Amino acid sequence: MEKINEPRYPSFKLIMQAKKKPVDEKTAADVGIETDRIGLANATTETVDFAAAPPRAAGTIVKDEGDGGTKAADFLAEKKFV
Amino acid sequence: MAEVLVLVDHVDGEVKKVTTELLTAARRIGEPSAVWVGDGAENGKAALAEFGAEKVYTAPAELNDYVVAPTAQLLAELAQDKGAAAILVSATAGNKEIAGRAAVKLGSGVLTDVVDVNSEVVTEHSIFGGATVTHGRVKTGVPVVAVRPNSFVPEAASGAGAEEAVSVDLPDAAKGAKVVERVVEEQGERPELTEAAVVVSGGRGVGEGKFDVVEQLADTLGAAVGASRAVVDSGWYPNQFQVGQTGKTVSPNLYIALGISGAIQHRAGMQTAKNIIAVNKDPEAPIFELADFGVVGDLHTVAPQLTEEINKRK
């Protein structure tokens, strides 16, 4: 995604100019949003709970001494993949 | 028992495996009703009934002439007419959009990338690259649930599979984006990456132009081929095979990582795999923290030996 384009970074002068621009604040009702459909209380979904995922049990790590592939195949056989 | 609508993923009358997973999940909630959009239902019906579909609603292929909106309209109307308990779809990009649109029409909510669901439609999500597990639910209306492929083990259960033709009047708004052409992507004999039961991935350690070592192992196992970002960025393997945060998220039964160190961005895309095998030269590589079985060594000797051993034991 980062290859799409080159961002145009504002110069210091532009940043200072931007600070002088008026900020027009509107409420949700001003822009025609039904207020009974927004906000946490009106969300249609909720998170019931969350927790850190249980850590994976430590696996078996072997050093290849010319038989690494065979040992891996043994593991697959044990798990019934082959 | 209330009906649970399951949107069928099919290719020319052949039901995809993920649909059988959804039907299995749907049976926990209620009575599964498959929703078939397009032609070929007569060929696929038996497969749906085999996994417990009591009804098969068939909608005309015309719905597929437009992008997502007609299917969303259909699901929303069916859910209302039949008093459905939930709508299940597979969590593909297109189906998630359908899910969103259907939920808006129903005034309900969407739960996406779901990995488990119970009878009360409380869903489990694996977030932050699998580091955190959350449960969610829809507070109002008919829950629309997008389920990640390979999250359920399909279990056969005979259903009646009664066919019922349904149609929907499409408002002009649903005809906004028309499909003008369909091109079948050339992908050869290998299964689709996100749906594959086994994935064999290669990383930087594979080396330029040496991906055949990964492909050979994949083909012996009937697996899909994946690649790390380093590989894709170097142009060694095409973009659509990238596994990880900026690529695809896979959750296969078996994931074999060859020459992949296991950067957090890669792990985010694969750590919900049920079994992980890693081969890497560097004993300190973080991928070994995840691996159920790890081999510290050169993948160019280990992987061919593994391929050969598997062939011998077949």
Q: Do B133 and A51 touch (CB under 8 A)?
A: yes
Q: Which of B139, B288, B310 sits opposite A45 (nearest CB)?
A: B139
* Torsion on CA atoms B42, B96, A54, B194, rounded to nearest 10: 60
User: Which residue in this structure is represented by tokens 């069916």?
Assistant: B78
Cα–Cα dist B114/B96, whole Å: 11
Mutate to test the interface with B, among A63, A74, A76, A79 (most CBs of B within 10 A): A76
Cα–Cα dist B78/B100, whole Å: 16
Tell me the per-residue pLDDT of B236-293, one tens digit each, with 9 for 90 and over: 999 999 999 999 999 999 999 999 999 999 999 998 899 999 999 999 999 999 999 9
**Mean pLDDT to the nearest integer, B134-154:** 95
Q: Do B139 and A69 touch (CB under 8 A)?
A: no
Q: What is the ipTM of this complex?
A: 0.75
Q: Which of B158, B70, B113 is nearest to B250 (CA)?
A: B113
Q: Which of B246, B291, B309 sits opposite A70 (nearest CB)?
A: B309
Cα–Cα dist B68/A23, whole Å: 39
Q: Which of B126, B163, B124 is nearest to B28 (CA)?
A: B124
Give me the residues paired with residue B31 across strands: B3
**Mean pLDDT to the nearest integer, B50-76:** 95
Beta strands at B86-90 and B144-147: parallel, antiparallel or unpaired = parallel
Q: Assign domain B193-313 to its CATH superfamily.
A: TPP-binding domain (3.40.50.1220)
Give Cα separations from A50 to B7, B39, B109, B235 (angstroms). 28, 42, 19, 39
Q: Which of B242, B295, B235, B288 is nearest to B269 (CA)?
A: B242
Tell me the per-residue pLDDT of A40-75, one tens digit each, with 9 for 90 and over: 999 999 999 999 988 888 899 999 999 999 999 999
**Mean pLDDT to the nearest integer, B172-179:** 92
For chain B, give every domain's residue range: 3-175, 193-313
The structural architecture, per CATH, of the domain B3-175 is: 3-Layer(aba) Sandwich (3.40)
Query: Would you state the structure tokens that stand for residue B42, as one six-digit string?
Result: 């007569």
**Mean pLDDT to the nearest integer, B134-157:** 95
The reply to whether B193-313 shares the fold of B3-175 is: yes
